[in-house]
Amino acid sequence: MGKFDHKDLLGIGQLSVEDISLILDTAESLKEISTRDIKKVPALRGKSVVNFFYEPSTRTRISFEMAAKRLSADTVSISASGSSLVKGETLKDTARNLQAMNPDIIVLRHSSSGAPHLLAMEVSAGVINAGDGINEHPTQALLDMFTIRERKGRLHDLDVAIIGDISHSRVARSNILGLTKMGARVTVSGPPTMMPVEIEALGATLVSDPVKALKDKDVIMMLRIQLERQNKTLFPTLREYSSFFGLTMRLVREARGDVIIMHPGPLNRGVEITSEVADSPYSVILDQVTNGVAVRMALLYLLIGGSKGDNAD
Amino acid sequence: MITLIKSGTLVDPVKGIVEKADLIIEDEKITGIFPPGAFKEKGAQITIVDAANRLIIPGLIDMHVHLREPGYEYKETIASGSRAAVAGGFTALACMPNTLPPNDCRSVTEFILEQGRKAGLAIVFPIAAITKGQKGEVLTEFGDIREAGAVAVSDDGFSVRNSELMRRALEYADFHGLKVISHCEDPSLSDGGVMHEGVVSTRIGLPGIPSACEEIMVYREISLSKLTGCPVHIAHVSTEGSVELIRRAKEKGLKVTAETAPHYFTLDHSAVVGYDTNAKVNPPLRTRRDVEAIRKGLAEGVIDVIATDHAPHNALQKEVEFDQAASGMIGLETALPLTLELVRDGVLGLPEAVGKLSCNAGLILGTGGGTLKEGDYADLAIVDPQYEYTLRKEAIVSKSWNTPFIGKTLKGKNEITMIKGKVVFPFKTSEP
């Protein structure tokens, strides 16, 4: 097995092609554990993982917890509402206090872009970015790439469309970086009010018309519309958004016959995706959730195993 | 008491010349400028300062600083800011009113003047608020404030949202002989933004502030100046578009002046990569293209003044998440070497560069100063233009050290600052 030489996972940008392949290969070998009767191996026994969620999250937090527990690590979860953050403690002080308890890994979800970078400078524990502001969500991109590779057998030479609110999507940013690095071609589409300036500098191709953007695609990745953005300045109504950018079966037919449809969740049924599409055989949305646990197991294993010597038998 | 500054290179921004000269100071004033060696020293009471290979420049004037007092003394005080100023070669400062309470009345203006006098270093000129509490609702008492000693009005940190109110401010300030300094920012376009909107903000996932946010307000102020016939000064110009608007306004003969800060002609938005909160500033660091346009604007005289926008913040505001960090960087101790870099790059001649850091601001504010001729107060700095050093946090005189230039190599260092013929820097003893 190759060497994973990182203290932290802060973003896809820091990973090489070899790193990503190693994570996906490791996840593939660990995935089977979750199908056993006894879903636990002792690989990370005696290690501790802190899940520090400054922003609400169900799926990602549970996924990290399950991943850690299946590897026998001890886990503690903190959310902002129950922590000293609401008492005015700075992130830096919280970090120092956590560090004083000697965890091996801190998983951080935070509403500020760059917060995991700040944390990583303060603590000797490994830091995993579980989503920071509108910057990156690297474990989501890794589980997405895992799911695509599982279905398509490869990542290179695939055509992927990412549709929706690109501006505010850390999922989009991480996936553009990861997929293009692995040799896929990424097309982004969405309302111009939700398209960041110079997006093509990240390696994606911008096609404003969603119908054209979906043409001959192997993978369609729909992004969640944050309902609170409605009635602000970005789009007038959900109704209008869904009629132009919502994924319907009619639009799915623009893509390749064996297209797979992905969504990072949680779904707004009837907004960015119709129920018909979400529940169709094209959809791999629940596979993404299953694979999330495997990918996070792989990361915990590689980060702890890589930095603290090999005591996993 | 007579002082002879010997064998230096005198930079006179008014005459636009650089010449080798000996300078005689008697008590508070410059009493003679001689060709090298022409002055015959007689008597033993002359203090001689050897200025060989040094520049003698007028004491610098910074028309845009935040001294944080009253209210935020943990970031900077008038005394600590004045110390940083004289260390950087500045002998006069104009301080912005966004203190706590804001400087929006006679009593705060007088307090600032008094604290400035007590500090006894750089001359401190208060800039008062345009509106009460800087809330953009009611004008402050310009007449009273002027009498108390304020030299200009500004709601720096905010634009006056209400255009009608801004129009009245220009008219009323002109009547009282106060300059209006405008911080140009359309708040609806900057809302939530923390850096320049461009390829870097897209890449690192931070909400952006477009250039139009500044330019819209620059255009409004130019329009209002045209409407009223009253002068307006545009603070901290950061975009190519703003330079263009000001250029056209000046070509039409409108009474518009402008300043920029050293970071806008030195750094671009890539300084933010890595979420360095010391590079978070408002207006934000823009693109390389904007940096080039600012340099061109300086070279062509579109931008009259280099001001630091010295904005001290301590770790509590800076060692936090990027979007929660305060905007601003200190600048008093780095302005001179960064401006000399423009001279080395051929953007500005030495007298022009020094003028933008001194007499031009004195002209705009109506305070005078920044000149070196017989009869002037001996406010000056003696600078080694060749000295190279790495900026260390520990060496910073200001109470705060929020600057992205820590660890960077700077060239050009102020060695001696004199105010009214007295050496105020280097500091004599370690003061509290």
**Closest chain B C-alpha to A168 CA, distance in angstroms:** 8
- A109 close to B (CB below 8 A): no
Check pLDDT > 90 for residue B428: no
Instruction: Give me the residues paired with residue B306 across strands.
Output: B260
Residue A70 pLDDT greater than 90, yes or no: yes
Cβ proximity of B134 and B117 under 8 Å: no
The pLDDT of residue A129: 98
Is the omega angle on the peptide bond into residue A116 within 30 degrees of 0, that is, cis?
A: no
3-state secondary structure B326-388: CCCECCCCCHHHHHHHHHHCCCCCHHHHHHHCCHHHHHHHCCCCCCCCCCCECCEEEEEEEEE
Please indicate whether residue A87 is annotated as part of the active site: yes
Contact A133/B206, CB-based, under 8 Å?
Answer: yes
Reported as a pLDDT band with limits 50, 70 and 90, residue A306 is very low
Query: What is the pLDDT at residue A172?
Result: 97
Nearest alpha carbon to residue A128 among A289, A281, A268, A10: A10
State both tokens at A99.
Answer: 């560090």
Please tell me which residue of chain B has the smallest CA distance to A137.
B205
Residues of A within 8 A of B269 (CB-CB) are none
Average pLDDT (B113-122) is 98
Long-range pairs of B242-246 with CB within 8 A, sequence gap ≥ 24: B242/B184, B242/B211, B242/B214, B242/B215, B242/B218, B243/B293, B243/B294, B243/B296, B243/B297, B243/B302, B243/B303, B244/B293, B245/B215, B245/B218, B245/B219, B246/B218, B246/B222, B246/B297, B246/B302, B246/B303
Pairing outcome for strands B256-260 and B232-234 = parallel
> Could you confirm whether A110 is annotated as catalytic?
no
Burial (0-12, 13-18, 19+ Cβ within 10 Å), B29: middle
> In this predicted complex, what is the ipTM?
0.92
Cross-chain CB nearest to A202 (options B203, B323, B324): B203
Within a 13 Å sphere around the CA of A141, how many CA atoms are in the beta-carbon half?
31
- Give the Å distances, CA to CA, from B432 to A75, B114, B141: 50, 19, 36
Chain B partners within 8 Å of A136 (Cβ):
205
> Tens of pLDDT along B39-56?
877 766 889 999 999 999
Phi, psi angle pair for B20, to nearest 5°? -70, 135
User: Between A and B, how many CB-CB pairs are < 8 A?
Assistant: 61
For the segment B199-231, what is each residue's pLDDT rounded down to a tens digit?
999 999 999 999 999 999 999 999 999 999 999
Q: Is residue A309 predicted with pLDDT exceeding 70?
A: no
Residue where the block lists tokens 């994606």? A204
At residue A88 the predicted structure's pLDDT band, cuts being 50, 70 and 90, is confident
Set of chain B residues whose Cβ sits within 8 Å of the Cβ of A92: 319-320
How close, in Å, is residue A148 to chain B by CA atoms?
Answer: 24
Q: Per DSSP, which regions of A69-150 are E strands?
A: 74-79, 105-110, 126-132
Retrieve residue B168's tokens: 């009245």
Looking at residue A313, what is its pLDDT?
A: 37
pLDDT computed for residue A78 by the predictor: 85
Quick check: A110 contacting B, CB < 8 Å? yes
Average confidence (pLDDT) over A258-273: 96
B275: nearest CB among A117, A134, A201: A117
Question: In the structure encoding, which two tokens stand for residue A242, read together?
Answer: 């869904």
Tens digits of residue pLDDT in A135-148: 999 999 999 999 99
Is A113 an interface residue toward B (CB < 8 Å)? yes
Q: What pLDDT sits at residue A85?
A: 60
Q: How far is the alpha carbon of B276 from chain A, nearest alpha carbon, in Å?
A: 9
Closest partner residue to B322 (CB to CB) among A114, A173, A201 is A114
- For an interface test with A, which of B191, B201, B202 has the most A Cβ atoms less than 10 Å from its Cβ? B202
pLDDT 10s digits, B274-287: 999 999 999 999 99
Which of B202, B321, B323 is facing A199, going by the closest CB pair?
B202
CA distance, residue A112 to nearest chain B CA (Å)? 6
The catalytic site residues of B sit at: 309
Residue the block writes with tokens 């230096």: B8
DSSP string, B278-317: GG--SSPP--HHHHHHHHHHHHTTSS-EE---B----HHH
Confidence of residue B430 (pLDDT cuts 50, 70, 90): low
Residues B53-78, mean pLDDT to the nearest whole number? 98
Q: Does A201 touch chain B (CB under 8 A)?
A: yes
CB of A203 less than 8 A from some CB of B: no
Residue B48's DSSP bridge partners are B4
Cβ-defined contact of A114 to B198 (cutoff 8 Å):
no
Q: Cβ of A135 and B199 within 8 Å?
A: no
Which of B205, B275, B320 is facing A91, going by the closest CB pair? B320
* Contact A136/B at CB under 8 A: yes
From the list A282, A218, A274, A217, the residue with the least C-alpha distance to A245 is A274
Closest C-alpha among B130, B149, B148 to residue B140: B130
The nearest CA of chain B is from the CA of A278 a distance in Å of 28
User: Are the C-beta atoms of residues B265 and B308 closer than 8 Å to each other?
Assistant: no
Look at B205 and A90 and tell me if their CB atoms are within 8 Å: no
Give yes or no for a contact between B388 and B362, defined as CB atoms under 8 angstroms apart: no
pLDDT(B176) > 90: yes
pLDDT band at A310 (very low <50, low <70, confident <90, very high): very low
**Whole-number pLDDT of residue B382:** 98
Average per-residue pLDDT in chain A? 92
Q: What percent of chain B has pLDDT over 70?
A: 99
Among B175, B176, B174, B156, which residue's Cα sits nearest to residue B232?
A: B174
**DSSP class of residue B413?**
E
Q: How close B71 gets to chain A, by Cα (Å)?
A: 21
Query: What does the DSSP assignment read for B131-149?
Result: BGGG-SSSB--HHHHHHHT
Asked if A196 lies within 8 A of B321 by C-beta distance, the reply is no
Query: Taking CB atoms and an 8 Å limit, are B275 and A118 in contact across chains?
Result: yes
Q: Establish whether A6 is a catalytic residue.
A: no
Lowest mean pLDDT among A21-35, A80-94, B119-133, B282-296: A80-94
Chain B: residue nearest A90 by CA?
B320
Q: Are B385 and B84 in contact (CB under 8 A)?
A: no
- Binned at pLDDT 50, 70 and 90, residue A235 comes out as confident
pLDDT value at residue B114: 98
Cβ–Cβ contact A228 with B under 8 A = no
Q: Which amino acid is at B358?
A: S
Write out the two tokens for B350: 């030495």
For residue B25, give the 3-state DSSP assignment: strand
Q: Which residues of A touch B207 (CB under 8 A)?
A: 134
**Per residue in B305-327, pLDDT tens?**
999 999 999 999 999 999 999 99
Question: Residue A145 corresponds to which tokens in the numbers above?
Answer: 């790439």
pLDDT band for position A84 (50/70/90)?
A: low
Residues B340-359: tens digit of each pLDDT:
999 999 999 999 999 999 99
Question: B385 preceded by cis ω (within 30°)?
Answer: no
Closest approach of chain A CAs to the CA of B239, in angstroms?
17
Residues paired with B329 in a beta bridge: B310
Q: Cβ of A197 and B320 within 8 Å? A: no
Q: What is the mean pLDDT of residues B232-252?
A: 98
Q: Which of A6, A7, A59, A269 is catalytic?
A: A59
